[in-house]
Amino acid sequence: MDKTSNRLIIALDVPTIEDVTRIVDTVGDAVDCYKVGMEAFYGLGHTVLAQLASRNKKVFVDLKLHDIPTTVSKTVKALCQFSPAFITLHAAGGVKMLKAAMEEADLWAARTQRPRPKLLAITVLTSLGERDWVEIGYQSPIRESVLRMAVMCKEAGMDGVVAAPQEAAAIRALCGSDFLIVTPGIRLHPERNGDQTRTATPAQALKAGAHYLVIGRPVLSADNPRDEVNHILSSMDEYMEKAKD
């Protein structure tokens, strides 16, 4: 994971296959991995995964699975057939659900002799602020809740978590360097945060200890997505060079 381009994941939150191919073909070899979330997967189905596979792109399947353990484990098994690099589940599903998902992924890998997808747990959505968290019914602050979830996920065998940049450094300290941290809500211009509450610049996220950065709307809405990606990668490269000094 030396190249910064390997650490950037573009979120394909788009409604049509034409949008998918336009973005991927425009960005070209600048990015290796794309996130397929609910909009694209539910709207386009397996077609979007096939399109990415045909272009030799890694896939981050972001469906935030959250159900009883049996249902989630069977869903993980079904998704594994597409050889995604990552699959997300909600940490709120609990230890039994997380362990069932991991066991199914391990069984699939052993049976097929193919690499197992990395399983990542969603902690607290970056669109939620402290007031939102209290309204849902939680009493502890978001940061405390995220850290508790991260430790639980590590103990359950998850490969890592998806968390806001604001919690990344503390997660890294608690869970170690091998525990993956994926941070959404990345903005070159934090003032343009849309419906995201807990955002950060690429440099801030990397400094906090994030392994991978997920960015969507700034690239998807750009007049030239390739130029926007290059700006993001330049910002990441600049930070990495400074960090070496």
- Residues marked active site are found at 64
Please classify residue 63 by burial: count the beta carbons closer than 10 Å to its beta carbon, then call 0-12 exposed, 13-18 middle and 19+ buried: middle
For residue 88, list its beta bridge partners.
Answer: 120
Rounded CA Rg of the chain: 17
DSSP state of 67: S
CA distance 174 to 151: 7
Strands 86-90 and 118-122: parallel
Tokens, residue 41: 């997967």
CA distance 182 to 13: 17
147 alpha-carbon distance from chain centroid: 17
Tokens, residue 194: 């849309």
Number of alpha carbons in the 13 Å side-chain half-sphere of residue 192: 12
